[in-house]
Amino acid sequence: STQIQLVSRPEGWPEPENFRTETVELPELQDGQVRVRNEFISVDPYMRGRMRDEKSYVPPFALNETMTGGAVGRVVESRSEKLPEGTPVLHQYGWRDLAQGAADEFTAIQELPDTPLSVYLGILGMTGMTAYTGLTRIAGLKEGDRVFVSGAAGAVGSAAGQIAKLLGASYVIGSAGSDEKARMLTEKYGFDAVLNYKDAPIREQLAKAVGEDGVDVYYDNVGGDHLEAALDVLNRHGRVAVCGAISQYNSTERPCGPDNMGNIIKNSLMLEGFTMGDHWDVTQEYTSRMTEWFTSGKIAYDETVVEGLDHAVDAFIDMMKGANTGKMVVKI
Ligand code: NDP
């Protein structure tokens, strides 16, 4: 099996030199085990956190071990009745072409017509579910709410904006890093407005765009300047789902915080952080609602597909720089 391993911990932006490709001989299958040929592997921002030797909600990657994470593929050899050959599965064995282990470590997934399995890494998987959880369980989205989503053209953000609309938000504004992404989000994804944060300070742009009506919910994927901008325009009893802070993941300097945290008090705002680890019980509810939305054409969905396990590292770094629209996956 060809596998990608982390060999040193990046300082600032990760470099290809931090990784190596290894060929590993797989042992024969034991009773109860399956072998899976991966079709897609996931590259995610949280993996940058795991490259640090720090205690967090997921343990750090060990050096000289294969990068683990979400992947989808098909069983090619089976010694388990639970997962016969050919079954499409989701698992966490990560950046490798072949994965092997106990059948319990693989979850069978339902293949949708004319749809690649990669949707289970994106809209029907962890990132879509994160968007849903943040809106419904953390921000307590209500009908009529006005919503701001940062990182709107990414996997979580593009799902969050659309789910907000499907659940009754009256107005959804997003931010993204290019005019092309902004145009796509308004024309195809149903956002009411999208700001290119590279055009001018997001704080000025957002205040002008939302005007007196402000916003009731902020879905934060970016942190820093975007959180500051949101705190300026949140209405009384506004709610913030603190999901991620990608603007800070590769920074080597101490990040500066918002200067308007006082608004949290003045306006009785609610900001709540969350990690999906505490919310996996949402899976059934989410999968049934999103499968319905997705298959009935109520959800726009794009992914950025990079070909070849050899390009997994570049795909990961490029994703952090914004080369992706929607979920970034690597096709094996
Ligand atoms: P995305 O698909 O959104 O990819 C990352 C995007 O971040 C890039 O496409 C880029 O788009 C944007 N970006 C990079 N740097 C900056 C910056 N300085 N300012 C603004 N935008 C920037 O990744 P995901 O959807 O997988 O993740 C989105 C967020 O959700 C992350 O913060 C992640 O950590 C978080 N997350 C949290 C989870 C939880 O359980 N709490 C679970 C999953 C994700 P652009 O061109 O617009 O700059």
> What CATH homologous superfamily does 2-119+301-331 map to?
Medium-chain alcohol dehydrogenases, catalytic domain (3.90.180.10)
Answer whether 94's CB lies under 8 Å from 46's CB.
no
Q: How confident is the model at residue 238 (pLDDT cuts 50, 70, 90)?
A: very high
Answer whether 29's CB lies under 8 Å from 50's CB.
no
> What CATH homologous superfamily does 128-277 map to?
NAD(P)-binding Rossmann-like Domain (3.40.50.720)
Q: Is the pLDDT of residue 42 over 90?
A: yes
Answer whether 37's CB lies under 8 Å from 98's CB.
yes
* pLDDT over 90, % of the chain: 94
Ligand 1 atom closest to the Cα of residue 245 is 32
Q: How confident is the model at residue 261 (pLDDT cuts 50, 70, 90)?
A: confident
Q: How far is CA 234 from CA 3, 150, 164, 214, 263, in A?
A: 46, 14, 17, 6, 8
ipTM (interface predicted TM): 0.99
Could you tell me the two tokens for 268? Answer: 């009785």
313 C-alpha vs ligand 1 centroid, how far in Å? 17
Fold: same for 2-119+301-331 and 128-277: no
Question: What is the predicted pLDDT for the residue at 282?
Answer: 98
Question: What is the predicted pLDDT for the residue at 4?
Answer: 98
Q: 86 — alpha (psi -120 to 50), left (phi > 0) or beta?
A: left
Choose among 156, 198, 187, 193: nearest CA to 174.
Answer: 193
Question: What digits encode the pLDDT tens for the residues 171-227?
Answer: 999 999 999 999 999 999 999 999 999 999 999 999 999 999 999 999 999 999 999
176 by Cβ neighbours in 10 Å (0-12 / 13-18 / 19+) ranks as buried
Ligand 1 environment, Cβ below 6 A = 44-46, 127, 130, 151, 153-157, 176-178, 181, 197, 221-222, 243-247, 274-276, 319-320, 322, 324, 328
DSSP-assigned letter for residue 154: B
**Half-sphere exposure for 288 (CA within 13 Å, toward CB):** 4
Q: How far is CA 225 from CA 10, 216, 308, in A?
A: 24, 18, 35
Q: Is the dihedral of CA 107, 112, 118, 119 positive or negative?
A: negative
Q: Which residues contact 190 (CB under 8 A, 6 or more apart)?
A: 161, 162, 165, 172, 300
Question: What digits encode the pLDDT tens for the residues 54-97?
Answer: 888 889 999 999 999 999 999 999 999 999 999 999 999 999 99
The pTM for the full model equals 0.95
For the chain, which residues make up each domain, given as ranges?
2-119+301-331, 128-277
